[in-house]
Structure 1
Amino acid sequence: MAFIKEESEDVKIEETFSVKQEDLQEQTDLMVLKEETQQWNEMEEKQFEKQQEITDEKPTLTEKTSSHGRPRNSKSACNFTCRQCGNRFSRKHNLQVHMRIHSGEKPYTCQQCGQCFCTSGNLVVHMRIHTGEKPYSCSQCGKSFKQISNLKVHMRTHTGERPYECQQCGQRFYTTGNFAQHMRIHTGVGLYPCLQCGKSFHQSANLVAHMRIHTGERPYSCIQCGKSFKQNSNLEAHMRIHTGGRIFTCTQCGKSFAQKQDLEIHIRVHTGEKPYTCTECSKSFRYKSTLKHHMISHTGEKPFTCAQCGKSFTTKASLMNHMNGHTGTTVFTCDQCGKSLTRKDTIRQHMKTHSGEDCFRCSECGKGFKCKRSLSTHMKLHNGDQSSQN
């Protein structure tokens, strides 16, 4: 039905690549298969159409009212049968509306975009896309939805209900959509593989987001600072920096963060947790980036290369300090004499001239020097290089 297609666009899932737990909960609000949506929206549509039917088809005194407010015969007989698919209805009007599915008749047209619908109820729900109306609100968290079916699925995040169970591994799911995606793990059907690295995904949107790792594309840009992101969710989290929306607060020290993952990393300061362990020496680290930098000490890798002279460095900071030597940038100033230097290590050595510290000591005679260059010159005397004396 056109209505189902339209609503699926309304509840389109945000593109995600690494799906976090909170992202999975958001998906359960949005991913509703056709049969689930149709079942619950029929109640909404018929409730709306009942107002139109009352003037043409008033119930007799012998009729009772259903739990959904629709008049029905005392025997609830389904006397009207569709000759094409066999579906049965208790009222002739409902059969007539149903027949539009087979005939393709769509008598209700949206005046704003021209899309047509089988029922007036579908048109009413569609109009909420243009008006932004979300009449169905969650009583627990206040989140609003355009359709009652989406509210029903969302409520499972509060109740914990997972009515769909995988018969192969026992895992349970909130929606038939999530269940169908999970089954691809067992069947291998419907997976979307990356042609560059071979990794497979359950959704085409996830593959699209993944491909940005290979292409480097960052389509989501901050209008305030210009920073770009691969995922829209990352941009939304970044925007909290500008708006001051630090909604994740540490219960131990009160420090606030714009993203939940930043809070989780910060908590390790209090717990002492170091989840990243070096496979070479078993040393553990609090941050993944620290482990990555540590591994260079084992591999000897120097991934940061100067484009001007070709010299390589183990860290980006070391490369930046080196580049100052080419550009002539003076960013480090001695607070004792005011001398400016281009490199951080150079300013440290210079400070020793004020402190009198001799950090470079000759292993042959024990004489100390303030800089490494002076020690190198001195060592030539022990090695018999007389050119240094000239």
Structure 2
Amino acid sequence: MNSVDTGPQDSPTETNKGTFSKQGKTNNELFALNNFHQVHKGEKDEHPYKCKICLKSFSYSSSFTSHLHKHNLECPHKCKSCGKSFNHPYTLKSHVRIHNGERPYKCTSCGNSFNRSSTLKLHMTIHNGERPYKCTSCEKSFNQSSTCKSHMRIHNGERPYKCISCGKCFNHSSTLARHMRIHNGERPYKCTSCEKSFNQSSNLKSHMRIHDGERPYKCTSCVKSFNHSSTLKSHMRIHNGERPYKCTSCVKSFNHSSTLKSHMRIHNGERPYKCTSCVKSFNHSSTLARHMRIHKGEHPYKCTSCGNSFNRSSTLKLHMTIHNGERPYKCTSCGNSFNRSSTLKLHLTIHNGERPYKCTSCEKSFNQSSTLKSHMRIHNGERPYKCTSCGKSFNHSSTLTRHMRIHNGERPYKCTSCEKSFNRSSNLKSHMRIHNGECPYKCTSCGKSFNHSSTLARHMRIHNGERPYKCTSCEKSFNQSSNLKSHMRIHNGEHPYKCTSCEKSFNRSSNLKSHMRIHNGECPYKCTSCEKSFNQSSTLKSHMRIHNGERPYKCTSCEKSFNRSSHLTRHMRIHNDERPYKCTSCGNTFNDSSTLARHMRIHNGECPYKCTSCEKSFNQSANLTRHMRIHNDERPYKCTSCGKSFDHSSTLARHMRIHNGERPYKCTSCGKSFDRSSHLTRHMRIHNGERPLPVKNASLAMRDRCQLKCDDVFIQWNI
């Protein structure tokens, strides 16, 4: 204290000293009393107490003394309740009212009460509209001189309060005080309902509205209400279209300053928020906060309807539209509605054909930047998303998410009509079309409609002949990637689908599924015209062509038509003499793999088809079927001319030649024709001099004739 020179005021006279000392006054009180006489005598110096450190001057010695406490950091007045200390007694007195709740200053207009007279005085300006402090640079006026003084710093750029930790400057001491809490971690404002604490009282006040549900700021244009005035102000810009914050680098404008600030980081590449767990950095703190939830597995936003939890509030909000069916974003062109504004925006590119994102490596263009980014990974081979369970990597995070459901068995998308659940929303959407019969995707060439766009795309390849999936080992090409994948297993011999009941393995899961029906006897596909049932839908479809006479597969070389594409394929080998299937034991070649398989049973003696009524076994299922008719006396093939019935279609076909005189088997040497292939075979021995085998080889000859007959039957049955 003694080191501080109070400056230019005159020293009291000896007479004054004697007078004052007789009254027992302190040195400061002598100055105050001297100042009192000066004021009342009309002297000009109204602030006689001057500080030599900061040059401030004061009218009263008490104010001057309190001011000196700030320089030497002296706070002699201590609170008994919390330990805080203050440099002036009236500041302590005001502080004590926080503890005892005393609010002695009451507003006569609205009834609010305050713990300081200055606060009441300031509050009264709300009622009387008094704003006496005017800015000389603009037209604004204020109800406090300090507010006006702070406002003036906007015009003159003065920022006198400097942070000693980071060097930032501020135009108000309170702003610096709040800023210092970032460095020292102080959060003095604690919520009484939960454990959260805040570094600003306004933040606590806003937070308390979460607990009490208070939303005092109502929008006059719609029914929405908000718990903060700034949120309402930002919301109002939606209605009035105001976007006051303009980007100086591009033509974009924004309705919030923080949005502009985030946008500017796109231009300057600034990503100040760094993840401490990985090397990623972000241009927004909220994005970093969301990213951190990936590392610590936090999912704080829980659905009250199904229990699913999410790491973003926006994702939960979007998820809720599944339960409530809300689709607020409607397309004005086609009437479709969507649960996301971004989905609607993307949908509109279908109508306007806009594809602004172009690939620099190929000529493709896309209607989304994210789709282009994913596409670029095809060119550069980047697959940044790795599965922690099996090591597979993917070029998109959503693909990894779907893949993880294979490991954890999660099937979150449930059908409301049946008990089925799916691991993809698109699969559920397609499935729902089974229940409602919706087939929105229509073929423009033949009129057929489909319940999925990908099915239509595959179907269109039938019309345009497109086969984009080419085999690298042979010249074959396919119209589906799955067909190429299955075909490749012919070259590499891969049979990944193994039967658990026998040792057989298959190169397609569908083949294994069909095979399992042999073991369990399941025949789920029933014919509506007869009582037959089948273990494959394709077999039922082919069977139905017997009833309706449909033979859609026509031969381009002759007039024959077939009810199966495989039959046409085999038939075409007659014209082009193709026999691609070769026996490794005898060298014979065949035009069908099944014929080769049957032929191989001659060499290995395999007879897998056993009769349940006797001990006989056969190397063909057709032979077993014919044999069973002996036991059950079944003769299903009836002649329409004479009424005779037969146990096999080929026998009926031969019999019909008696009625119609048909003799299809013609000798190329003499021109004779026969009604049976075996008769032509015997006749040919006349020309080639071949003699029947001796009696000791009769059994072998009989076996060959039977095999020839069976082959003949099989060919005719296929035809």
Tell me the TM-score normalised to structure 1 length. 0.50
Highest RCO, 1 vs 2 (Cα 8 Å, sep ≥ 6):
1
Tell me the TM-score normalised to structure 2 length. 0.30
